[in-house]
Amino acid sequence: MIILGIDPGTATTGYSILSLDGDIIIPIEFDLIETSKDISPEKRLSFIYQELENIIKKYSPDLMAIERVFFATNARTAIRVGQAIGVMMLCAASSEVPVFEYAPGTIKKLISGNGRADKKMMQQSLRKIFGPSIRSKAHKKTHFDNAADALAVALCHVYYLRK
């Protein structure tokens, strides 16, 4: 089974590809879809759709696991991320890829054992599971956070399947 994990955003969307073969979980890829702040919101959404479509064509995932949006303070950001999630779900539906949504606290609880884990705790948990190779590529630290979060979302679905 191939699982596509998504940490949604408009500037940076983290994505990951996990392979699940029986009890063996292999991280195939985790990276980012990045959009320029200098283009219009609709062009950003179009770019996200096109990039995600390419990822789906390349890896043929059996399903997509996505983090449910949660913002308590910034409604504008929540709306923009919600729009991006809609585009991602449309892309998955167009490719007949089922979508599963997980709340941030659920992801944190299943991966780290703590529903309020911070980014550092989550990354430490991922390194315990997958080894020290789970490191930032040539991206900024915050961007690595998005890619690592996408890996956690995909892994959350694996754990959910095993319940």
Is pLDDT at 142 greater than 60 in this prediction? Answer: no
- What global pTM score does this model have? 0.92
Domain spans of the chain, in order of start:
2-162
Specify the higher pLDDT residue, 90 or 136. Answer: 90
Strands (E) located in 2-137: 2-7, 12-21, 24-34, 63-67, 99-102
**What span, in angstroms and rounded, lies between the C-alpha atoms of 68 and 105?**
10
Q: Please state which CATH number belongs to domain 2-162.
A: 3.30.420.10
| Residue-wise pLDDT tens digits, 87-115 | 999 999 999 999 999 999 999 999 999 99
68-71 contacts, C-beta under 8 A, 24 or more apart: 68/101, 68/102, 68/103, 68/104, 69/8, 70/103, 70/104
Percent of the chain, pLDDT > 70? 93
